[in-house]
A and B are shown apart, each in its own frame.
Chain A
Amino acid sequence: EPEVTQTPSHQVTQMGQEVILRCVPISNHLYFYWYRQILGQKVEFLVSFYNNEISEKSEIFDDQFSVERPDGSNFTLKIRSTKLEDSAMYFCASSWTSGEETQYFGPGTRLLVL
């Protein structure tokens, strides 16, 4: 069964450093998402992406965050200057449409900012 993959599974970085989290969505999917979950808190929506554009972003997704689909397979989340409060599990998801289709989630990247 096709699945969403994410790399790395864990990342430790120093405050102020840039990090790039990578995702390979399911190959024929058109809609891509990032969510995050701070330890002990809810899973929160960050951004949705379709047709090489952001279609919606949350208040969390400020100028420090960016997303890119650099080629036909990868979908990346970049945090330009990490803060302590960016420490969280980041989930990538993809779906065929934005409507009734199921979103398929990757296993997540656990980011720790020191």
Chain B
Amino acid sequence: GDSVTQMEGPVTLSEEAFLTINCTYTATGYPSLFWYVQYPGEGLQLLLKATKADDKGSNKGFEATYRKETTSFHLEKGSVQVSDSAVYFCALRATSNTGKLIFGQGTTLQVKP
């Protein structure tokens, strides 16, 4: 079945460092791909998405490119801030068309001043 695999956390970076969080997926068809972020005490918020191969999603300085050839959707940011500290979830929307999201295990990012 469809699945998502993320790099293990926690990831600890200094402010202004470059961030990469790896995400790979297994799916039939052409799923849509998402990154959600969860700040402490809050629900999941959509960070960015891409719906077809080679699309780049971007928001708040974060980017991810839908790579069908490597089945990947890695999250990147050029310069992280302390306020980016959160848990990041990669997800795909299954092609069953019921809207079901399949999530990776989440990666905790801690940014130190």
Contact = CB atoms under 8 A, between A and B. Distances in A.
A is bound by B: yes
Interface of A: 4, 31, 33, 35, 41-45, 48, 50, 55-56, 91, 93, 95, 97-100, 102-108
Contacts of B112: none
26 contacts: A4-B43, A31-B99, A33-B99, A35-B101, A41-B105, A42-B105, A42-B106, A43-B91, A43-B103, A45-B102, A48-B99, A48-B100, A55-B99, A56-B100, A91-B44, A97-B99, A98-B97, A98-B99, A99-B99, A100-B32, A100-B51, A103-B101, A104-B46, A105-B36, A105-B44, A107-B41
Given A42-B105, A43-B89, A102-B49, A107 B100 contact: no
B98 A56 contact: yes
A44 B98 CA distance: 15
Interface in B61-87: none
Interface of B: 32, 36, 41-46, 49, 51, 89, 91, 96-106
Nearest to B4: A42
Given A107-B41, A107-B42, A42 B98 contact: no
Nearest to B3: A42
Contact of B100 (A45, A102, A105): A45
Contacts of A43: 44, 89, 91, 101, 103, 106
A42 B41 contact: no
Question: Which applies to chain A's interface (DSSP): helix, strand, loop or mixed?
Answer: strand
Nearest to B99: A98
Ordered nearest first, which 6 A-B pairs have the shortest CB separation? A98-B99, A56-B98, A105-B44, A43-B103, A105-B43, A107-B43
B10 to A, nearest CB: 12
A32 B53 CA distance: 27
B46 A42 contact: no
Contacts of B101: 33, 35, 43, 45, 103
Nearest to B105: A42
A55 B98 CA distance: 6
Given A35-B103, A42-B103, A103-B101, 9 more contacts: A42-B104, A42-B105, A43-B91, A45-B101, A48-B98, A98-B99, A103-B99, A105-B43, A107-B41
